[in-house]
Amino acid sequence: MSTRQQPARSPGRPASATKAEVVELARRAFLAGERVDVQAVAAELGLSRASIYRWFGSRDGLMGAVLADEFESLLRLADSRRKTTGAHRILEALDRTNHWLAASAPLQRYLDNERLVGLKVLTASDGPVQPKAVAAVEDLITRTEDEDGYHAILDRQLLAYTLIRLLEAFLYNDTAAGIRGDVDRLRQVQAALLGIPE
């Protein structure tokens, strides 16, 4: 029995844009206060919706990528503007990021228009945002340890997770306790976790 080699199947047409370009275009729409429309993003970049869904799983996955990217960018920017070191550096970067998020009209519009889905996208431990936000804060803690000699009183990953969960409660989720949007009280609680008397 002879085995004939089949000609190699030609690959599909390469994507005309990258995942990063999809996120950036969706992010621009989000920051402009527009509802992120997968079809419009795909059309503008010359992609099929199937490519976007293959990369992100759903519109919610794309929104999660946008929101995670926005958080990471804000935290990096806040840290680059810091005037402090050690635990105060972490608190300053978080506090500045918290204020920016609390004042973000696009984020508030997203939560007002897509409350349940938005909360799930932002706060699910297996979702597209929270793990990246925790990793970004953990990276900030690590850099602060390496550059400033800071020593966290908790395990680095646990501290990062707890700081993010507090941010979620104060900024997105806890209207029942009357703390939603209260960035001053959020700062007090985050300061206590970082061992900073306020």
- For every residue of 33-95, which 3-state class applies, written as one string? CCCCCHHHHHHHHCCCHHHHHHHHCCHHHHHHHHHHHHHHHHHHHHHHCCCCCHHHHHHHHHH
Q: Say how many Å lie between the first and final Cα of the chain, rounded.
A: 82
Q: What percent of the chain has pLDDT over 70?
A: 89
Note the pLDDT of residue 6.
Answer: 44
**Burial class of residue 109 in the structure, from the number of CB atoms within 10 Å of its CB (0-12 exposed, 13-18 middle, 19+ buried):** middle
Alpha-carbon separation of residue 111 from 103, 131, 164 (angstroms): 13, 19, 18
pLDDT, tens only, 158-177:
999 999 999 999 888 756 56
Note the pLDDT of residue 16.
Answer: 80
Note the pLDDT of residue 178.
Answer: 65
Cβ contact 90:140 at 8 Å: yes
Query: What is the reported pTM?
Result: 0.87
Note the pLDDT of residue 177.
Answer: 63
Note the pLDDT of residue 11.
Answer: 45
The tokens 């209260």 sit on which residue?
182
42-51, 172-181, 183-192: least confident range: 172-181
Amino acid sitting at position 160:
A
Distance CA 15, CA 48 (A): 9
pLDDT, tens only, 103-153:
999 999 999 999 899 999 999 999 999 999 999 999 999 999 999 999 998
pLDDT, tens only, 87-101:
999 999 999 999 999
